[in-house]
Structure 1
Amino acid sequence: MRTKVFRVAGVTAAAMLALTACGGRGDTATTAGGDCQGQQTVGITDTTIELGGVYPLSGPASAYGEAGKAGKAYFDYLNAEKGGINGRKVEYLVRDDGYQPPKTVEETRRLVEQDQVFAIFPTLGTATSSAVWDYLNQRKVPQVFVAGGATKWGSDTAHPWTIGWQPSYRSEARAYAKYVRQERPDATVAVLYQNDDFGKDLLDNFRAAVAGSGVRIVAEQSYEVTDPTVEPQVRNLAASKADVLLNFSTPKFTAQALAADARTGDWNPLHVITTVSNSVTTLKPVGVENIQGVVSAAYTKDPADPARDADPAMRDYKDKLARYGQGIDPTSNYAIIGWTSADSFAKTMAAATCPTREGLRDSMRNLNNIPIDLLLPGVSLKTGNGDAFPIEALQIQRLTGDRWSLVGSIIDTTG
């Protein structure tokens, strides 16, 4: 595989709010002084922060590459118009792992050992991120806001340098379980899931959330990311005649399953897809008529909803994305997630007591209801003692026409 990489370097602009001066490494120092005595300053100076991200810019999950491009655009904007983060310009180096864990290991090691980055923001995917979290924690390198909802990013206590961002798959599965129990209390359920920690996390938590209710799982089919299609699995699930189809898959396979579902004749289940695969941009090629009534969940505002165009935060996002991310679809869910998570990183780093790896680690685990303008109203970043889940609230949404419509109210899955 040919390695894909892009970089964003800082440009001069006015500085943001000043951060408490705890020392920087200059060109050679690796630890801070003053109140931050002995803490790591690899990859950060008084004027720059070197970040490294690992995305699937190629391969079966390349749709997620839009998030990396939007993150780059955000840092371009931040450097040009806000002076970076507390006066430090962000130099953002992104590498391509093709959604292959061995390649994730190779590219992450290159970022840490050769490029000497300050932090990894982010790695994308459950299996891929899992392949490097031992390595990063052993080296005490922050693995910030992993792009994936594995429950372990927030529940594990042996990896303090790693944290997720989006609602965990436990939170997401609980939201779907609540919705299904309300809408179809005696439903039979068929499940298509990716045969890895991502798919199993969602399935296991949904199963736990419906235990003791009238909702029953009656059929399960898994697939591998190397499979050319999931149409055989969908045909097998259709034979169950289940009332609900849970489609716990990544974008390519979600689209395939929706297309296969449309070809299964008289089977018409309530079709539920995950937040990581619900970009309308990805779903539209299936045919708008074939995605009506599909259910998912949301925690960011929908950039494809014309009603959001009056929202000042959405207008600003689209304006800045057009200026700094030319060619990126502003209506893409992956783009808005990439931009919003980068905004979350900037606010988390700005709040750090020390401009060090330790300072960033402590800041990301002590977020006090940090507002992020593009999250849904009622959703903010909050972590603390015993709680390493930054976002634990989401809302059910249903496809109507070619856009999502929110259903009900915010579901808080805290605890």
Structure 2
Amino acid sequence: MRTPATTTRRAAALAAALALGLTGCTAEEEGPAPTPGVTADTVTIGTHQPLTGPAAAGYSAVSAATSAYFAYVNDNGGVHGRSIEYLVKDDAYQPQQTNEVVTELVEDEEVLAVVNGLGTPTHSVVLDYLAQEGVPDLFIASGSRVWNQPSLYPNAFGYNAEYTTEGAALAQYASEQEPGAKVCVLGQADDYGEGILEGVEAVMGGNEITEIQTYTTSMTDISVQIGALKAAGCEVNILGTINGFTALAVATAAQLDWFPQWYVSSSGADYPTLVGHLGEEAAAQLLEGMVCVNYLPYGPDNEWTALFRQINDEYNGGAPFTANTVLGMSVGYLFAEALAAAGEEPTRESLIAAVESGTLRGNGIVPLSFSETNHGGYSTVGIMTVEDGVQDYNGTTYEVEVGQVSEVEADPVPLLNGGIPAG
């Protein structure tokens, strides 16, 4: 005979079983969990950028330009019918703050991907976290080779030419244009400056560098470093400096009545930004003949540049048009290209697969070449010079592979479909 307790237990068990069954049916009806950052109408991504702090001058323009490009895309139908929402978090170029804002993007904002996070010391602190969370870590704005390790960081992809690539290209050009000159290096005291130096050494050999000096971004005076370069008799100074310190180096040298040749990495050679630091009259005198490297469309006659100027005027409030404007819009184009290739229902997995597929071309002086085994950005760079206040490519283009520098022909990616990837 059933007791009340037995009946009660059996009723409770039956109710629990029914609840489990209903839960299972609901889960089956709902299907797989939605992809973070993706709705029927939008795709939300994020980034960390130095909107304030020592790297803000020039670099704060990058994300504004990317946002302007996305606004242009959204007004023209988006990608697969979805608008792109770009959340920009200020990290002030401080690694601890980078960690905080990237955590917010992933855990609070639930972004699909982090795109173009800027800076070697800053992005390094979130690299492992993004890998553990499986968040696509796309087109990092830094030339560190750390990002190009697919076996360790299958979700991370570089964008900028590696610092070693730029250092090697600058050293090669110096050896061809200034044979026998005393070549020296001034670099930031981190992976950035070390990478530039490593590239120079790969071409020249360490013993052929006359003097090496470093600085930190907390400094406001580098007269000691510049004085040491002058005392060593340096004739060509290769700089691994951000824009503010490029201007400080050139101005400090002028105060010492010293006017060597300046060969500058892409991260610190944007002429309009340097004019902002130095003033037009001083820049015209001190930067004439400055040599630098780049890999993105630039110059007064470039079709991409013309489009980006139009977008800048219409969607970016006519902000100053600089190389960082081009960088921001170019990386925006590349993300849109990746999103189009990821399919009509993008996931984090399909986005990474799209980048590794090898079909993305970017918009640089040569096509990009991402693959399953290559997560690096540009390995080919062009030489630019400043002549009569105009910064443009001079026709010399180098491909750098494992420190070996070869001169090649540029193969610019043409502008198609109004600069919006077909979805």
TM-score bracket for this pair, using the shorter chain length: 0.7 to 0.9
5 Å-filtered alignment, 1:16-415, equals 41-62=35-56, 63-81=58-76, 83-155=77-149, 157-211=151-205, 216-265=208-257, 267-284=258-275, 285-286=277-278, 287=282, 288-302=284-298, 305-306=299-300, 308=301, 311-330=302-321, 332-353=322-343, 355-368=346-359, 370-372=361-363, 375-376=364-365, 379-414=366-401
Is the partner of 2:39 in helix, strand or coil? coil
Is the CA contact (8 Å cut-off) linking 1:57 and 1:65 kept in structure 2?
yes
* Contact 2:150 2:372 (C-alpha < 8 Å) held by counterparts: no
Partner in structure 2 of residue 9 of structure 1: none
* Alpha-carbon contact 2:41-2:82 (below 8 Å) kept: yes
**1:369–1:359: structure 2 CA closer, same or farther, 3 Å change rule?**
closer
C-alpha distance in 2, partners of 1:280/1:229? 22
1:341 counterpart letter in structure 2: V
Paired residues, number: 367
The answer to which structure has the higher helix fraction is 2
Counterpart CA distance in 1 for 2:254 and 2:59 is 25
SS in 2 for 1:246: strand
Match of residue 7 from structure 1: none
Q: 1:14: which partner in 2?
A: none
How far apart are the structure 2 equivalents of 1:203 and 1:40? 46
How far did residue 39 of structure 1 move?
A: 8.8
Deviations 1:10-46 (A, max 9, x none): xxxxxxxxxxxxxxxxxxx9xx97xxxx797111123
Task: Name the larger-Rg structure.
Answer: 2
- Deviation, 1:338, is 0.2
CA 1:40 to 1:176, structure 2 compared with 1: closer, same or farther past 3 Å?
A: farther
User: Residue 321 of structure 1: SS of its match in structure 2?
Assistant: helix
Shift of residue 315, structure 1, vs aligned partner = 2.6
Instruction: Work out the CA distance in 2 between the residues paired with 1:130 and 1:239.
Output: 36
Give the partner amino acid of 1:364. V
CA deviations over 1:112-134 (Å, ceiling 9, x no partner): 11111111112100010111001
Instruction: Confirm or deny: 8 A CA contact 1:366 1:383 kept in the other structure.
Output: yes
Please give the secondary structure, in 2, of the residue aligned with 1:407.
strand
* Equivalent residue number for residue 17 of structure 2: none
CA distance in 1, matches of 2:189, 2:197: 10
For 2:106, the aligned partner's letter is V
Q: Distance in 2 between matches of 1:139 and 1:233?
A: 42
Kindly indicate whether the alpha-carbon contact (under 8 Å) linking 1:163 and 1:388 is maintained by their aligned counterparts in 2.
yes
Tell me, in whole angstroms, the C-alpha distance in 1 between the residues paired with 2:324 and 2:136: 23
Q: Which amino acid aligns with 1:399?
A: V
Indicate if the aligned counterparts of 2:43 and 2:84 stay in contact, CA closer than 8 A.
yes
Normalising to structure 1: TM-score of the pair?
Answer: 0.83
Give distance in 2, aligned partners of 1:233 and 1:40: 54
Q: Which runs of 5+ in 2 are unaligned?
A: 1-26, 403-423
SS in 1 for 2:126: helix
For residues 29-65 of structure 1, the C-alpha deviation after alignment (integer angstroms, 9 at most, x for no partner) is 9xx97xxxx7971111232111111100001110201
- Structure 1 residues 39, 261: CA separation in 2 closer, same or farther (over 3 Å shift)? farther
Distance in 2 of aligned mates of 1:365 and 1:206: 30
CA spacing shift, 1:41–1:369, aligned 2, 3 Å: closer
Give the partner amino acid of 2:63.
G
Q: Quick one: structure 1 residues 92 and 221, their matched pair in 2 at CA, closer, same or farther if it must change by over 3 Å?
A: same
Instruction: Give the deviation of 1:367 after TM superposition.
Output: 2.7
* Cα distance in 2 between the residues matched to 1:401 and 1:394: 23
Cα distance in 1 between the residues matched to 2:204 and 2:372: 29
SS of the residue aligned with 2:47?
strand
How far apart are the structure 2 equivalents of 1:91 and 1:44? 10
Residue aligning to 1:23: none
Q: Distance in 2 between matches of 1:401 and 1:234?
A: 26
Q: Residue 214 of structure 2 aligns to a residue in which SS?
A: strand
Aligned residue for 1:383, secondary structure, equals coil
Return closer, same or farther for 1:156/1:195 CA change in 2, 3 Å cut-off: farther
Q: Secondary structure at the match of 1:413?
A: strand
Q: For the Cα contact (< 8 Å) 2:170–2:238, is it kept in 1?
A: no
Task: Say if 1:404 and 1:39 are closer, same or farther in 2 by CA, change over 3 A.
Answer: farther
Alpha-carbon distance, 1:211 to partner: 2.3
Amino acid at match of 1:299: Y
Q: Deviation of residue 329 (structure 1)?
A: 1.4
